[in-house]
């Protein structure tokens, strides 16, 4: 039999494959396109158009070739370097990878090129998780993985219908899930991210910051991003009492409130709050904090002890030792009643009464009259609150813009403001009236999710209030916003702004059905964050210990991963093998294959397209010493497989013959 | 029974020199009740080949030279008044014979071609409303000049499919050609030839072919080949079920000629190129023979 080797065609991508490859690439690149330098995005679009052009015409494809591609690579590199100044940085390297993919798209000549592009597409999917690991991102990545797999299947099975290929691609990705779960449970967690590329400095995370000016909180309210979620291990307080303490602002410079100096210094002496014995039950909270790129950690007022990895400063605010770039879980106990205070230090008293030298004369005048009329600080505070209650103040997200003396303008003219206006103006008045005051920023309220039994606090719940110093009681919380808009504290921001025409749609209270779905989604998202992202090395070890593997070390886990990697293909072959059992159990074939293996060791390898007789002839001519034996066995094998009557005695004889067959190289 | 077939081939080989493989394939085709298409340039012994084949098997032989003015009646026969004035008498055409040589079939018009091709498929002819059985066995050998020759009507694919095999004669090798040139006239030699078969032997051989055992792995191989030809973007059309039947029957006949008790992949491979070669065409112009590509593309299970 003369079997000439076929020459595989160089490029066999059908139009269908190319079209789907295009779609798959668009989906895997889409999340990155926006964050890339615009020049690159345009280049990528052009490469995509080139691909479409090839799809539409494609009779004689035109390849740009190195003369075009090298300059393009140069341009891409210079754009990236101009934007990021280095390649060894997360976004810059992703942009570089993306531009390489598009350059590769310009030279789709052989099947191999398609494989490279698809492989890079899978790789790019991995980079999707640099930005975050939310449930949505995971589902998106899985969907795109199915798409990329589909392209490979379409290419391998040109005849199969699209439906069949979809199903196969989906099955393949689903089949990878068990392995993913096993590896997820096994791969050791690194507490510091060893592999992480340097993060871009420009990567700003929206959230509460360490200063406050008019507009900074109302701007934040438009964001529906989750700030943190809290699970109460004791019974939770009612929403109106949920004040989540954030940065404490002491210094007023112009219009902007700042934290006191030394605020960020978490290791310095004298910054920590002395621990005291407390009486009565507290609220035990388990907080899952979303990354905020700062050192801010939040808890209900007033935390008793700092959680692990944080300190409690003299402002009774929790600060993380490290900047928070990944979700973080901690447990805090808070007590509603402030502890017996230490007296104010001279410096603190000075800070808490300081005002800018000039500006807002009418407010100063008003506060000065209170100071002259009343000696009791409590009376002054009440006068301040009454001022807000007695005048037609409006709580609104979009107050009129004021240019000069904004506190005056707000208190006496527009009388429209958001919590930062009320808190800022109230603190200003108190300081001028001789009552030590400071502004507290943080969050108030939150969505109680009865599904997950947790409270979800979003950026929209950001709030600002005031603390005043009463010598006999210490720092006391005063919320002037509550006087103007009681609903803000009692029912939440959505209700408080119900009549505000500028209310962002994310704050719409919605009907019960929509609200229910939001709760379900929030619960699922929380569960994902808790179970998947929160699965750190401690929980990993605890999990395995609970299963009976006591305290596995890093090394043990690594060995387990290797064992799984080695065992999995075998398990898979056993599982899949069940489907092909009829082929596998054909004893005639097994015997013949054993014979073939013996010949292969002697250097004669069976061609898959050869029948037993033809192979016997060929092997016999290559191993002339064994020619007779080989022919006998080959013929018997063929008879066993293809003839009706092959007796068990003949089978035994054949098996014996093959067992005794010891071929040697003829040379 | 194998000695019968080998004696047939040996007898034929005394006249037709150096064409052993063609003789075996032709015999295969006949035993599998298929028809044969020989494609080659004139003068390589196509006519003699068929005559000898009929002779060694002890079958009647008729030759129809196809020309552009050939009418269906010239092939099938016709009725004419019998002279007594009472009725008509049917004059059977040359098709009523065991072996019919349709010489240069592509020189005739499609109308005449289809008359023969219908007879091939039905193994009976209908003339003036009356069906007449053709003799059994009925075996058509058609010869065809390569289609590039002038003045030819090439057979359409649907009719090519009716031929079980297509073979090429080829030029004789130097040794055979020298014997041919020095030896006596082939036709006189043929006339003196004796049929080595007894009456009924041919029927028994054909029955043995019909009952040849086909194992499951071989059916897997056959179906893999069929499936391969039906993969899109490869061939213009895949192999039809009729082609699959022809392939199986020819492989059975080949196994019989080899003296086996079951069909092996080698039997299938031996008849693969002649059975599929004229039924397949690559979509793209590819120099490789489509039949041969099946050998290299499909693995033996």
Most confidently modeled of A40-44, A525-529, B157-161, B275-279?
B275-279
Query: Of B191, B222, B244, which closes a domain?
Result: B191
B30 and B159 assigned to the same domain: yes
pLDDT at res. A2:
41
B99 and B170 assigned to the same domain: yes
Q: Distance, in angstroms, between A607 CA and closest chain B CA?
A: 8
- Hey, what are B296's tokens? 């290299």
Nearest-angstrom CA–CA distance, A583 and A186: 36
pLDDT at res. A58:
57
Note the pLDDT tens digit of each residue in A500-544: 766 666 666 556 677 778 888 888 888 887 788 778 777 888 888
Cross-chain residue pair B266–A613, CB shorter than 8 Å: yes
- The yes-or-no verdict on residue A47 having pLDDT over 50 is yes
Q: Which residues contact B275 (CB under 8 A, 6 or more apart)?
A: B164, B165, B243, B246, B247, B250, B291
Nearest-angstrom CA–CA distance, A147 and A131: 21
**Average model confidence (pLDDT) across chain A:** 81
- The yes-or-no verdict on residue A88 having pLDDT over 50 is yes
Taking CA atoms, B106 is separated from A139, B116, B149, B160, in Å, by: 65, 12, 10, 11
Of all residues in chain B, the one with the smallest CA distance to A6 is B296
How would you list the strands of the sheet with B61-65, edge to edge? B61-65, B99-103, B139-144, B36-39, B165-167
Q: Distance, in angstroms, between A569 CA and closest chain B CA?
A: 24
B112 and B247 assigned to the same domain: no
pLDDT band at residue A9 under the 50/70/90 scheme: very low
User: SS3 letters for A259-302?
Assistant: ECCCCCCCCCCCCECCCCCCCCCCEEEEEEECCCCCCEECEECC
pLDDT at res. A338:
61
Please indicate if any CB of chain A lies within 8 Å of the CB of B261: yes
pLDDT at res. A339:
59
pLDDT at res. B148:
63
Here the CATH number for the domain that contains residue B240 is: 1.10.8.80
* pLDDT, average across residues A421-436: 90
What letter would DSSP give residue A414?
A: I
Cross-chain residue pair A642–B215, CB shorter than 8 Å: yes
- The yes-or-no verdict on residue A277 having pLDDT over 70 is no
Q: Distance, in angstroms, between B98 CA and closest chain A CA?
A: 33
pLDDT at res. A280:
62
Comparing A41-50, A500-509, A620-629, the range with the smallest average pLDDT is A500-509
What letter would DSSP give residue A331?
A: E
Comparing A180-189, A263-272, B68-77, the range with the smallest average pLDDT is A263-272
- The yes-or-no verdict on residue A493 having pLDDT over 80 is no
Of all residues in chain B, the one with the smallest CA distance to A593 is B301
Q: Distance, in angstroms, between B174 CA and closest chain A CA?
A: 23
- Hey, what are A639's tokens? 């008879």
Cross-chain residue pair B217–A589, CB shorter than 8 Å: yes
| B205, part of any domain | no
Q: What are phi and psi of B247, to 5 degrees?
A: -60, -45
B101 and B242 assigned to the same domain: no
Token pair 């920590």 is at which residue?
A272
Cross-chain residue pair B217–A586, CB shorter than 8 Å: yes
- Hey, what are A413's tokens? 């003219």
Note the pLDDT tens digit of each residue in A141-168: 999 999 999 999 998 887 778 888 899 9
What letter would DSSP give residue A392?
A: T
Q: Distance, in angstroms, between A64 CA and closest chain B CA?
A: 26
| B44, part of any domain | yes
* pLDDT, average across residues B175-188: 80
Q: Distance, in angstroms, between B299 CA and closest chain A CA?
A: 4
Cross-chain residue pair A609–B298, CB shorter than 8 Å: yes
pLDDT at res. A119:
92
Please indicate if any CB of chain B lies within 8 Å of the CB of A643: yes
- Partners of residue B265 in chain A, C-beta under 8 Å: 611-614, 642
Nearest residue, CB atoms, A638 vs list B264, B292, B296: B264
pLDDT band at residue A170 under the 50/70/90 scheme: very high
Q: What are phi and psi of B282, to 5 degrees?
A: -65, 150
Coil, strand or helix: which one is B262? strand
pLDDT at res. A150:
94
Note the pLDDT tens digit of each residue in B7-28: 888 888 888 888 888 899 999 9
Cross-chain residue pair B217–A643, CB shorter than 8 Å: no
B287 and B148 assigned to the same domain: no
pLDDT at res. B150:
65
Please tell me which residue, B204 or A205, carries the higher pLDDT value.
B204
pLDDT at res. A144:
94
- Partners of residue A608 in chain B, C-beta under 8 Å: 299-300
Residue A395 β-bridge partners: A417
- Partners of residue B292 in chain A, C-beta under 8 Å: 4
* pLDDT, average across residues B204-213: 90
Q: Which residues contact A639 (CB under 8 A, 6 or more apart)?
A: A646, A650, B260, B261, B262
Nearest-angstrom CA–CA distance, B18 and A346: 123
| B199, part of any domain | no
Nearest residue, CB atoms, A6 vs list B260, B265, B297: B297
pLDDT band at residue A201 under the 50/70/90 scheme: very low
Note the pLDDT tens digit of each residue in A597-617: 888 888 888 888 888 888 999
Note the pLDDT tens digit of each residue in A575-587: 766 555 445 567 8
Most confidently modeled of A34-48, A277-291, A382-396?
A382-396
Range(s) of the domain holding residue B286: 212-297
Residues of chain B numbered 226-255 and touching chain A (CB < 8 Å): 230-233
Q: Distance, in angstroms, between B251 CA and closest chain A CA?
A: 12
Residues of chain A numbered 565-624 and touching chain B (CB < 8 Å): 583, 586, 588-589, 608-614
pLDDT at res. A271:
45
Most confidently modeled of A186-200, A507-521, B246-260?
B246-260
Please indicate if any CB of chain B lies within 8 Å of the CB of A647: no
pLDDT at res. A65:
75
Coil, strand or helix: which one is A377? helix
Note the pLDDT tens digit of each residue in A327-375: 788 888 888 776 556 677 888 888 888 888 888 888 898 888 998 888 8
pLDDT at res. A270:
44
pLDDT band at residue A98 under the 50/70/90 scheme: confident
B244 and B187 assigned to the same domain: no
- Partners of residue B217 in chain A, C-beta under 8 Å: 586, 588-589, 641-642
Strands (E), A399-530: 416-417, 437-444, 447-449, 454-458, 462-470, 474-478
- The yes-or-no verdict on residue A325 having pLDDT over 60 is yes
B236 and B283 assigned to the same domain: yes
pLDDT band at residue A10 under the 50/70/90 scheme: low
Here the CATH number for the domain that contains residue B172 is: 3.40.50.300
Please indicate if any CB of chain B lies within 8 Å of the CB of A15: no
pLDDT band at residue A191 under the 50/70/90 scheme: low
Cross-chain residue pair B233–A645, CB shorter than 8 Å: no
Note the pLDDT tens digit of each residue in A333-342: 888 776 556 6
* pLDDT, average across residues A550-560: 82
Cross-chain residue pair B299–A609, CB shorter than 8 Å: yes
* pLDDT, average across residues A381-394: 89
ipTM confidence: 0.82
* pLDDT, average across residues B16-41: 88
Query: Of B131, B162, B191, which closes a domain?
Result: B191
pLDDT at res. A578:
55
Domain count, chain B: 2
pLDDT at res. A146:
94
Nearest-angstrom CA–CA distance, A159 and A171: 19
Note the pLDDT tens digit of each residue in B87-135: 778 888 888 999 999 888 888 888 888 888 888 888 888 887 788 888 8
B181 and B225 assigned to the same domain: no
Of A481, A336, A608, A446, whose CA–CA distance to B297 is shortest?
Answer: A608
B228 and B171 assigned to the same domain: no
B225 and B184 assigned to the same domain: no
- The yes-or-no verdict on residue A6 having pLDDT over 50 is no
pLDDT at res. A3:
41
Of all residues in chain B, the one with the smallest CA distance to A156 is B231
- The yes-or-no verdict on residue B78 having pLDDT over 90 is no
pLDDT at res. A52:
80
pLDDT at res. A12:
64
pLDDT at res. A148:
94
Helix (H) or strand (E) holding B65: strand B61-65
Nearest-angstrom CA–CA distance, A246 and A220: 14
pLDDT band at residue A203 under the 50/70/90 scheme: very low
Q: Which residues contact A358 (CB under 8 A, 6 or more apart)?
A: none
Q: CB count, 10 Å around CB of A313?
A: 23
The DSSP line for B221-237 is HHHHHHHHHHSTTTBSS
Of B31, B12, B81, whose CA–CA distance to B212 is shortest?
Answer: B31
- Partners of residue A645 in chain B, C-beta under 8 Å: 261
List b or e across A281-311, with b for residues whose CB sees 16 or more CB atoms inside 10 angstroms: ebbbbbbbbbebbbbbbbbbbbbbebbeebb
pLDDT band at residue B286 under the 50/70/90 scheme: low
Q: What percent of chain A has pLDDT over 90?
A: 6
| B197, part of any domain | no
Q: What is the CATH number of domain A346-446+460-503?
A: 3.10.620.30
B247 and B143 assigned to the same domain: no
Note the pLDDT tens digit of each residue in B126-135: 887 788 888 8
| B178, part of any domain | yes
B85 and B116 assigned to the same domain: yes
Of A370, A361, A415, A424, whose CA–CA distance to A388 is shortest?
Answer: A415
């Amino acid at each position: 039999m003369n079997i000439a080797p076929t020459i595989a065609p160089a490029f066999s991508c059908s139009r269908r494959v190319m079209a789907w490859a295009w779609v798959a690439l668009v989906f895997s690149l889409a999340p990155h396109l926006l964050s890339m330098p615009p020049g690159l995005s345009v280049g990528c679009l052009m490469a995509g158009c080139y691909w479409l052009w090839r799809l539409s015409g494609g009779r004689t494809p035109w390849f740009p070739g190195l003369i075009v591609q090298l300059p393009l690579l140069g341009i891409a590199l210079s754009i990236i370097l101009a934007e990021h100044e280095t390649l060894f940085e997360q976004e810059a390297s992703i942009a570089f990878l993306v531009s390489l993919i598009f350059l590769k798209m310009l030279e789709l000549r052989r099947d191999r090129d398609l494989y490279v592009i698809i492989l890079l597409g899978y790789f790019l999917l991995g980079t999707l998780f640099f930005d975050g690991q939310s449930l949505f991102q995971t589902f998106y990545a899985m969907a795109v993985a199915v798409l990329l797999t589909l392209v490979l299947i379409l290419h391998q099975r040109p005849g199969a219908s699209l439906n069949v290929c979809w199903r196969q691609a989906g099955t393949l990705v689903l089949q990878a899930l068990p392995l993913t779960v096993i590896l997820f449970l096994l791969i050791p967690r690194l507490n510091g991210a060893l592999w992480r590329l340097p993060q871009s400095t420009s990567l700003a995370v929206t959230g509460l910051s360490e200063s406050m000016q008019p507009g900074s909180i109302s701007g934040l309210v438009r964001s529906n991003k989750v700030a943190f979620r809290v699970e109460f291990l004791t019974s939770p307080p009612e929403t109106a009492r949920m004040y989540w303490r954030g940065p404490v602002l002491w210094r007023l410079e112009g219009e902007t409130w700042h934290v006191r100096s030394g605020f960020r210094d978490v290791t310095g002496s004298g910054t920590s709050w002395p621990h005291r014995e407390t009486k009565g039950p507290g609220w035990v909270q388990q907080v899952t904090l979303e990354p905020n790129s700062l050192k801010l950690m939040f808890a209900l007022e007033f935390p008793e002890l700092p959680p692990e990895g944080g300190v409690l400063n003299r402002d009774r605010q929790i600060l993380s030792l490290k900047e928070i770039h990944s979700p973080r879980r901690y447990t805090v106990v808070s007590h509603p009643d402030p502890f017996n205070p230490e007296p104010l230090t001279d410096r603190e008293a000075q800070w808490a009464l300081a005002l800018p030298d000039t500006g807002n004369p009418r407010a100063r005048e008003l506060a000065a009259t209170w100071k002259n009329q009343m000696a009791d600080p409590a009376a002054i505070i009440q006068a301040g609150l009454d001022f807000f209650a007695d005048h037609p103040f409006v709580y609104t997200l979009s107050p009129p813009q004021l240019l000069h003396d904004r506190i005056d303008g707000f208190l006496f003219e527009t009388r429209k403001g958001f919590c930062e206006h009320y808190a800022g103006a109230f603190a200003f008045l108190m300081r001028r009236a001789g009552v030590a005051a400071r502004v507290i920023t943080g969050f108030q309220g939150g969505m109680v999710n009865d599904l997950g039994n947790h409270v979800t606090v979003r950026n929209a719940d950001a709030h600002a209030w005031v603390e005043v110093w009463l010598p006999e009681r210490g720092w006391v919380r005063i919320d002037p916003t509550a006087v103007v808009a009681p609903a803000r504290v009692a029912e939440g921001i959505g209700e408080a702004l119900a009549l505000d025409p500028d209310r962002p749609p994310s704050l719409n209270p919605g009907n019960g059905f929509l609200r229910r779905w939001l709760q379900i989604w929030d619960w699922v998202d929380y569960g994902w964050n808790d179970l998947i992202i929160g699965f750190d090395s401690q929980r990993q070890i605890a999990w395995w210990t609970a299963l009976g593997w006591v305290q596995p070390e890093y090394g043990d886990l690594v060995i387990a991963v290797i064992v799984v990697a080695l065992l999995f293909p075998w398990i898979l072959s056993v599982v899949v093998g069940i489907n092909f059992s009829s082929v596998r159990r054909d004893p005639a074939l097994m015997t013949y294959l054993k014979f073939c293996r013996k010949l292969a060791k002697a250097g004669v390898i069976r061609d898959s397209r050869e029948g037993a007789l033809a192979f016997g002839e060929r092997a016999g001519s290559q191993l002339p010493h064994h020619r007779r034996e080989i022919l006998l066995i080959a013929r018997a094998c063929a008879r066993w497989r293809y003839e009706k009557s092959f007796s068990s005695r003949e089978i035994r004889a054949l098996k014996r013959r093959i067992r005794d067959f010891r071929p040697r190289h003829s040379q | 029974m194998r000695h019968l077939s080998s004696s047939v081939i040996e007898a034929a080989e005394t006249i037709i020199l150096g064409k052993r493989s063609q003789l075996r394939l032709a015999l295969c085709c006949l035993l599998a009740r298929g028809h044969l298409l020989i494609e080659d340039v004139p003068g390589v012994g196509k006519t003699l080949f068929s005559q000898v084949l009929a002779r060694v098997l002890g079958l009647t032989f008729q030759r129809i030279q196809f020309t552009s003015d050939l009418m269906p009646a010239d092939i099938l026969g016709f009725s004419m008044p019998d002279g007594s004035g009472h009725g008509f008498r049917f004059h059977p055409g040359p098709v009523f014979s065991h072996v019919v040589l349709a010489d240069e079939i592509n020189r005739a018009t499609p109308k005449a071609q289809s008359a023969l091709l219908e007879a091939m498929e039905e193994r009976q002819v209908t003339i003036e409303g009356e069906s007449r059985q053709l003799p059994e066995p009925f075996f058509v050998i058609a010869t065809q000049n390569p289609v590039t020759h002038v003045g030819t009507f090439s057979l359409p694919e649907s009719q090519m499919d009716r031929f079980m095999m297509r073979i090429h004669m080829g030029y004789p090798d130097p040794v055979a050609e020298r014997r041919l040139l020095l030896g006596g006239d082939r036709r006189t030699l043929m006339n003196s030839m004796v049929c080595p078969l007894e009456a009924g032997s041919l029927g028994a051989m054909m029955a043995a072919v019909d009952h040849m055992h086909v194992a499951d792995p071989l059916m897997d191989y056959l179906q893999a080949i069929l499936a391969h030809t039906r993969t899109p973007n490869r061939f213009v059309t895949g192999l039809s079920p009729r082609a699959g039947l022809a392939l199986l029957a020819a492989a059975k006949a080949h196994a019989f000629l080899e003296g086996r008790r079951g069909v092996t992949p080698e039997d299938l491979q031996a008849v693969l190129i002649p059975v599929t070669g004229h039924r397949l065409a690559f979509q793209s112009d590819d120099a490789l023979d489509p039949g041969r590509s099946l050998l290299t593309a499909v693995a033996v299970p």
